[in-house]
Amino acid sequence: METDQIKKTTSGKIRHKFLLLGVVLLLYSLVVIPILVINTQQQQDTRSRGQTIQTTLTDASTPTKTPTPTFTPTPTASATAFSVTVLLDGIGSRGDNTNPTANITSNKDPKQKTKKTTVTVYDATNTLIASGSGDVLYNATDGNFTGTVPLKKSLTNGSYLVKIQVDGYLQRLVAGIQAVKSGAATTLPVTPLVTGDINRENTLNILDYNLLLDCYSDLAVASNCPTTQKKVTTDINDDGFVNQVDYNLFLREIVTQPGA
């Protein structure tokens, strides 16, 4: 009897242990294994993101070469120009319009060594084709003014009429018909210019005469010459004085003034 009781007790204990073991295995399968699976997946995701970031950084650190655009300049036509030599009445080696070679009283040392010069070009019908402005410089050796005056546009090859004007002097038609080559400098004949155009109207008249008298100061003080600019423009031989020399020069110029 006791032996049977012992066997029953032992058997019950064994069944109880197996039951506990089953419960533990069940809990392990429901809780621990999913956690391990999740952690493993997270580690794999982290490694995958790290590889992606590394790849992105590697790509970003390698600059992509951008092709450099090639610039092709548009060719432009060279402007036509004129090589100019002018003789200015009352200055240097030039006398005046009445006596071109009588230069004894002409000013050999002008105050303004540079003169603004305008060149205008006309076709055979006297239609204005082009114009340009530039400076001519005093040449003390030859007693003239020389320089290159570019036009605002290029001319086609051909024959043209050319006129020259310097500030304070009458415009004059250059002698002859000028053969012009496009994009090149054409040398013009030496051209004398008449002085005395004080008010810049391209004519000599009583208005210029009156302006000259305003600043005339051979002995007495000038009657009406309040500004330096007015004195400069009435000093037609450019020696720094408005006196008998300018007055006589103006009278000789106004007697024979060629038009253009």
Tokens of 57: 């950084």
Q: Whole-number mean pLDDT of the chain?
A: 81
pLDDT of res. 79: 77
Following DSSP, what letter does each residue of 75-93 receive, concatenated?
P-PPPPEEEEEEEETTBTT
- The answer, yes or no, to whether residue 53 has pLDDT greater than 50, is no
- The answer, yes or no, to whether residue 11 has pLDDT greater than 60, is no
Q: Which of 82, 112, 139, 122 is nearest to 195 (CA)?
A: 112
CATH of the domain at 140: 2.60.40
Instruction: Give the domain range for residue 160.
Output: 81-255
Residue 207 falls inside a structural domain = yes
pLDDT of res. 219: 85
Per-residue pLDDT tens digits for 14-51: 555 555 555 445 555 555 555 544 455 555 555 555 55
160 contacts 182 by C-beta, under 8 angstroms: no
| Portion of the chain with pLDDT greater than 90, in percent | 62
Residue 11 falls inside a structural domain = no
Per-residue pLDDT tens digits for 68-94: 554 444 444 467 999 999 999 999 999
Instruction: Answer positive or negative: Cα dihedral of 249, 254, 256, 260.
Output: positive
| Domain total in the chain | 1
E strands, 125-208, are 128-139, 144-150, 158-166, 172-173, 178-180, 185-187, 191-193
pLDDT of res. 110: 97
Residue 106 to residue 258: CA distance in whole angstroms:
20
pLDDT of res. 48: 53
Tokens of 148: 């290159």
Per-residue pLDDT tens digits for 162-185: 999 999 999 999 999 999 988 889
Q: Who has greater pLDDT, 133 or 78?
A: 133
pLDDT of res. 74: 43
Residue 29 falls inside a structural domain = no
pLDDT of res. 182: 87
Residue 85 to residue 134: CA distance in whole angstroms:
12
Residue 65 falls inside a structural domain = no
Rg, the chain, Cα only: 51
Q: How confident is the model at residue 60 (pLDDT cuts 50, 70, 90)?
A: very low
Residue 34 falls inside a structural domain = no
| Portion of the chain with pLDDT greater than 70, in percent | 68
Q: Which of 52-66, 74-88, 202-216 has the lowest mean pLDDT?
A: 52-66
pLDDT of res. 36: 47
Q: Who has greater pLDDT, 17 or 215?
A: 215
Residue 5 falls inside a structural domain = no
E strands, the chain, are 81-88, 114-122, 128-139, 144-150, 158-166, 172-173, 178-180, 185-187, 191-193
pTM reported for the whole predicted model: 0.69
Per-residue pLDDT tens digits for 227-244: 999 999 999 999 999 999
pLDDT of res. 218: 86
